Amino acid sequence: MNKTRAIPRVLHPAHTRLGPSSPLKCYHALRQAFPPTRLSHLAPTACASQCFHDWTLRPPRRQLFQRGYASSRAAESTIKHTGLYDLHIKHGGKMVPFGGFSMPVQYADLGVGESHDWTREKASLFDVGHMVQHRLSGPAASLLLEKMTPSSVTALPNYHSTLSCLLHPGTGGIVDDTVITRLGPDTFYLVTNAACREKDLAYIEEQIAASDHPSHIDWQVLDGWGLIALQGPLSEEILQNALQALKATDLEGSEVALQKVYFGQCKHYIVNDPSSSVDAAPIMVSRGGYTGEDGFEISIPPSWTPTFTQFLLDNAGPDKLRLAGLGARDSLRLEAGMCLYGHDLNDDTTPVEAGLSWVVHKDRRTGGGFHGDGVILRQLRPVKEGGTGPSRRRVGLVVEGAPAREGAKIMATDGEEEIGHVTSGCPSPTLGKNIAMGYVKNGMHKAGTEVSVLVRGKKRKGVVTKMPFVASKYWKQAAGTSPG
């Protein structure tokens, strides 16, 4: 059958506007922004989550599949800014290139180690707007996701999320790690890594085109949308107070009650600042994060991103909330045992080798049907049961002496045999030890196994250690205690 070429639609900021008579407001905003000839293809479609009216520009189909990625394919050398760039400069952010964006590595008020400790003790706010936000919808969206990933997205309840991996056909190698959130029966929200943007967009385009029903899949890239991560034991208090001050309600008009939103769940809220000319808008609040602390990731329409972020900071005050950059984010995620794509994960590594077997959900282990299932399902079965098992495994390490950095060789203690390599490493501000993660050959992965790590030409004692290095503090329903 003929396969059409899919491209993502990039939402214009006007699509996010809400208020009295919101459909008309969206429509008139677009009439002012685009010529009438473009508006002949304007079609209103309600988001399955009913979080906002998605007034989508729909060019004729023949144009849709002839154009490029709209504005998504910027030159590799072009450094972009998130919607919070000016805020970073205002607060003394030390900016560095990262994932194609100019991002803060730290701020003037706190060093990297101090910012790390602040997050563990109080709360920090991270700009993660460089990451790519997608929305996949349509009758064939779940089938596509279950082909690209080993997750049971059809069984995922509405407003719940799962960590997953986009997989290469045949090999089962990881194209990228992603968080998938179900917003409705046929609507899903995904976040992927900025550094993998071009690869991921090409991959998803190819997968849609190769699917049985490409016309039944609508793919949007939410370019320009903000994404911030509020992390730390005071996160719930800070966000609850801020949303109450903004007179936020959920989509049913109920007051905000964040204590009922658990790890891996999300909720939409409508926020309105009476002192601002910015229209009311929906934000999506997801409980989780990349630090091991309780916290939230918040997706924000473009027009609200600077306003909402600054309001969070001002409403909480500097005694509770500070901005944090890439430096603290990296040491926090390493203490939490979390992977960074391009370092701890890559195209040649499977979820089983990466210690992410749990992303292969139970029903997928029997039915398969995802890319690389032949390789991955054999790796999940031990040799004695007819499988192959993985040839290598991701492990945590505590290393004596100098910290082991990416690329350091891991050696057996009883000889010169190289058994693996370090993929991430740093001193742990929380533990006061040098921690690392890396890959070792199967059989050398058990906790307590002693190894040698080659650091600056000298062998250092290392011990394989269970991860996370620092216990996670996620707010889970079964825990029965309030975070913080």
Percentage of the chain with pLDDT > 70? Answer: 82
Q: What is the pLDDT of residue 477?
A: 83
Beta strand 174-184 pairing with 187-192: antiparallel
Average pLDDT over residues 185-214: 97
β partners of residue 431 = none
Helix (H) / strand (E) element for 428: namely strand 418-428
pLDDT, position 78: 87
pLDDT classification of 392: cutoffs 50, 70, 90: very high
* pLDDT score recorded for residue 194: 97
Whole-angstrom distance, CA of residue 145 vs CA of residue 158: 15
Q: What is the DSSP string of 122-145?
A: SEEEEE-TTSEEEEEESTTHHHHH
Neighbouring residues of 376: CB distance < 8 A, sequence distance ≥ 6: 150, 167, 172, 350, 351, 352, 360, 370
Q: Say if residue 75's pLDDT is above 90.
A: no
Query: How far is 92 from 109, CA to CA, in rounded Å?
Result: 8
Tell me the pLDDT tens digit for each residue of 119-133: 999 999 999 999 999
Is 298 a residue whose pLDDT tops 90? Answer: yes
The pLDDT assigned to 80 comes to: 96
Q: Is pLDDT of 17 > 70?
A: no
Average pLDDT taken over every residue of the chain: 86
**Residue 149 above 80 pLDDT?**
yes
Give the pLDDT band of residue 415 (cuts 50, 70, 90): confident
Strand runs labelled E in 232-390: 249-250, 266-271, 281-287, 295-300, 321-323
Q: Which amino acid is at 287?
A: R
Q: Which residue has the tokens 């370019």?
A: 223
Task: Give SS3 for 358.
Answer: helix
Which residues are CB-neighbours of 370 under 8 A, at least 6 positions away? 146, 147, 148, 149, 150, 167, 364, 376
Q: What's the pLDDT at 4?
A: 45
pLDDT higher than threshold 50 for residue 483: no
Query: For the whole model, what pTM was predicted?
Result: 0.85
21 pLDDT above the threshold of 60: no
pLDDT at 142 over 70: yes
With 0-12 CB in 10 A as exposed, 13-18 as middle and 19+ as buried, what is 164? Answer: buried
Structure tokens at 362: 């139970």
The pLDDT value given to residue 296 = 98
Give the percent of the chain with pLDDT over 90. Answer: 80
Please state, in angstroms and as integers, the Cα–Cα distance from residue 77 to each residue in 48, 64, 80, following that order: 37, 27, 9
| Residue 112 pLDDT level (bands cut at 50, 70, 90) | very high
DSSP, residue by residue, 145-175 = HHHHSSS-GGGPPTTBEEEEEEE-TTT--EE
* pLDDT tops 80 at residue 481: no
Pairing of strands 9-10, 218-221: parallel
The CA distance from 22 to 44, in Å, is 12
Using one digit for the tens of pLDDT, what is the confidence trace for 301-313? 999 999 999 999 9
**CA 53, 4, 66: angle at the middle one, nearest 5?**
80
Report, as an integer, the average pLDDT of 271-275: 76
Min mean pLDDT across 61-65, 341-345, 445-449 is at: 61-65
pLDDT in tens, 169-184: 999 999 999 999 999 9
For residues 365-377, give the mean pLDDT.
97
**Above 60 in pLDDT, residue 117?**
yes
Task: Average the pLDDT over 283-302 and give the result.
Answer: 97
Q: Please, are residues 391 and 353 in contact by the beta-carbon 8 Å criterion?
A: yes
Q: Identify the pLDDT of residue 273.
A: 74
DSSP state of 294: S
Longest dimension (CA), the chain: 76
The pLDDT of residue 414 is 85
* Residue 10 pLDDT: 56
* pLDDT tens-digit map of 241-264: 999 999 999 999 999 999 999 999
Answer whether residue 91 shows pLDDT above 60.
yes
Per-residue pLDDT band for 51 (boundaries 50, 70, 90) equals very low
Q: Please give the helix or strand (H or E) that residue 230 lies within, else none.
A: strand 226-231
Give the other-Cβ count within 10 Å of 348's Cβ.
10
Instruction: Band the pLDDT of 280: cuts 50, 70, 90.
Output: confident
* Candidate from 59-68, 235-244, 304-313 with smallest mean pLDDT: 59-68
Measured distance CA(125)–CA(313) in Å, rounded = 8
Q: Give me 66's structure tokens.
A: 């002839």
